[in-house]
Structure 1
Amino acid sequence: MTELGVDGGARNRLAQLRQGWCTRLASLSVLLGMVVVLIMIEIARPLFLTGGNLAAIAVDATVLIVIAAGLSLVMGMRGIDLSIVAVADLSGYLAASLLLSGSSFTTAVLAALVAALLVGIINGLLAGYLGVPAIVATLAMNLLVTAAVLVLSDNGTPQQLFTAPLELVRPMLIFGSDSWGPFRLLVVVAVIVVAVIWFLSRRTVWSRRAELVNANARAADLSAAPVRATFAIGFVLSGLLAGVAGIMLTARTGLAVPGSAEPFLLEAFSAVYLGSIAAPSGRVRVLWTVVGAIFVTMLGNGLVLLGLGAEWRYVLNGMLILVALTLGLLRRRSTR
């Protein structure tokens, strides 16, 4: 009996060691694949990895990084938020409208963030407390917020900050184009947001409860963890970050147009899925989502340099999601 027990323990340790190596190899293979793709683009277009283009990519990636970081909080608990791009549009347009009407930069930004926060709270109440499936609740909010933006914009009238009197829009344009030392302000803000969200998702009581919800919501409920509140907070944070991303997009482009944030929905899902597959743990993690967001942005930039149209960006993002889902399924099967 003792020998059998020892042999069984050794076999379990060997199986765990083999599983660990398989997980690491899967993670490294994804990272290696990303690097190979980027090298191929550099070979085709030697301007791709130059300092100037990499600096432009860093700025371009900021909006996607912030919006994908919020989405990762929800998806880390097996939820989904389809309203993020509509919220980003609402916040960006509302901030631009208030600035052009004479409001201060602080007032415009706070009003835009409050609007985004309200949408996040509604999503949290619907999905977290009322038990409405997250995909249904957030899809409904996406439609409602999109309609609100169309009403606010008089059926799609753009707000052009770069043609407005400078005294009205100077702070927003400075935020979108100025630098803090060698770093653009947008990059600094994105780094601060990621640092805060990483801390919330890895070093707080809420993060431990979110891990329980991800593992087993029923077990978390039986352990007296506030499952509904934990799930709802994820949507609140996702909505708030979508609002931040919308303001950043308006500041970067100097223009607020309904629907301008729509392409970021597919890219945000691509970033989260790629990050989860590249992560050694195989789970959704904020820092690995950032890696996915940077890769997606670099890929989009490379397509532009190669002279390929926007349709190729949609095709490749769709393929990335399918590949990530397939690799994730294979990893879970190998783990079992």
Structure 2
Amino acid sequence: MNDVRLTKGQPSSRFTNFLRQYGALIGMVVVLIVFQFIDKRFFNPKNILGVLNSSTFLILLSLGIMMTMAVRGIDLSVAQVADASGVIVAMLILKGYPIPCAILIAVGFGLAVGLINCIIISYLGVPAIIGTLGMMFIIRSIELSLTNGAQPQILFTLSPRRIGAFNFIGQGHFGPITVLMILCAILCIVFYFLKERSVLGRHMDAVQGNVRASILSSIDVRLVFGLAFVFSSIICAIVGVMLVSRSGNAVPRGVETYLTDCFVAVYVGTLFSKNRRFNVIGTIIGALFVGFLSNFFTLIGFGAALKNLFNGIFIILAVALSVLQNNKR
């Protein structure tokens, strides 16, 4: 009799496990299909390629935030790092610096900010939210000082011979595939192996799961915690350079509009993990979903209010499911 009950319960159990593993993905696909029924332009190949191209910045910024959240931290300075890096590369090019040199200095700025965050948060014990909040205001002040009160640094008026190579980063393409999409794919692969297939990634998962157990396992928690902020700042600096290359100008505080979408993408990404952990593939899927969501509201002419409503719903849903999953253990 017990065997019969067990047999009858197996399909239900398998279905429940299937929903836990793939329910979020199925739900997103259903939402996108509904969007197509509402507006036939949604699945147009040109529209899809446009969303993929514009989502490259959101994907990379989300990966930067995800790295810090994966070690129980948070980096509030990511937008300012991207902004300031963009301003720096634009100013250096305007002053006649070679393009490779300007890019290296801008990315080096991101590295420097990451190392400072690493020191003050990991080794001086300043809480991550306070340390990065302070860094955010410091960078914003530097940025405003460099631009004489947020004056745009305009590059698109320069000769194509002078900045053609730089513009190719953000505006070049190979057929329907843009250089931005290629760079994004390369960086995603790098971060996938860094987070999901390396010793550092395993240590990050251990820290996220249980800090005390990680210390007892001889993991250098401070180093792991600090490196997450270093990699976060580096990728955000690269995003800043990419944004300026695409738009042809650098506008202070221009990246802050991405922050809310980044947090939504990161939390939605946890729905694609059995343990509801922060992960690379889930974050990429979450960022793409947010990108398509924003595109749909643009197509039908809805404003930011409705988009923010859905962002709030998805964050609450992701966190609620994570809490329910933990309570069942």
Tell me the TM-score range normalised by the shorter chain: over 0.9
Residue of structure 1 equivalent to 2:33: 39
Deviation >3 Å, runs of 4+: 20-24
Please say if 1:295 is aligned against 2:289.
Answer: yes
- Alpha-carbon distance change, 249 to 61 in structure 1, aligned in 2, over 3 angstroms: same
Summarize the alignment of residues 208-287 of structure 1 with structure 2, pairs less than 5 Å apart.
208-287=202-281
AA paired with 1:304? Answer: T
Residue of structure 1 equivalent to 2:174: 180
**Corresponding residue pairs, total:** 322
**Among 109, 119, 125, which residue is 1:125 paired with?**
119
Q: Cα deviations across residues 251-302 of structure 1 (Å, max 9, x unaligned)?
A: 1222210111001111111111001013334211101100000000110111
AA paired with 2:277? Answer: R
Cα distance between partner residues in 2 of 1:171 and 1:315: 40
AA paired with 2:310? Answer: L
Please say if 1:189 is aligned against 2:166.
Answer: no
For 1:42, what is the secondary structure of its paired residue? Answer: helix
- 1:181 to partner: Cα distance: 5.0
Cα distance between partner residues in 1 of 2:312 and 2:82: 22
Runs of 5+ unmatched residues, structure 1: 1-6
Cα distance between partner residues in 1 of 2:36 and 2:94: 42
Cα distance between partner residues in 2 of 1:155 and 1:42: 44
Cα distance between partner residues in 2 of 1:247 and 1:136: 27
Residue of structure 2 equivalent to 1:329: 323
Q: Cα deviations across residues 193-238 of structure 1 (Å, max 9, x unaligned)?
A: 0000111112222112112211211121122211100110000000
Cα distance between partner residues in 1 of 2:308 and 2:138: 25
Summarize the alignment of residues 64-213 of structure 1 with structure 2, pairs less than 5 Å apart.
64-213=58-207
Cα RMSD (Å): 2.0
Q: TM-score, normalised by structure 1?
A: 0.91
> Mean alpha-carbon deviation: is it higher for 149-158 or for 204-213?
204-213
Please say if 1:313 is aligned against 2:307.
Answer: yes
For 1:71, what is the secondary structure of its paired residue? Answer: helix
- Alpha-carbon distance change, 235 to 24 in structure 1, aligned in 2, over 3 angstroms: farther
Residue of structure 2 equivalent to 1:3: none
For 1:123, what is the secondary structure of its paired residue? Answer: helix
- 1:36 to partner: Cα distance: 2.0
> Mean alpha-carbon deviation: is it higher for 57-66 or for 157-166?
157-166
AA paired with 2:236? Answer: A
Cα distance between partner residues in 2 of 1:146 and 1:235: 18
For 2:23, what is the secondary structure of its paired residue? Answer: helix
- 1:166 to partner: Cα distance: 2.3
Contact 1:24 1:280 in 2 (8 A): no
For 1:283, what is the secondary structure of its paired residue? Answer: coil
Cα distance between partner residues in 1 of 2:18 and 2:153: 48
- 1:192 to partner: Cα distance: 0.4
AA paired with 1:70? Answer: G
Cα distance between partner residues in 1 of 2:115 and 2:189: 23
Q: TM-score, normalised by structure 2?
A: 0.92
AA paired with 2:251? Answer: V
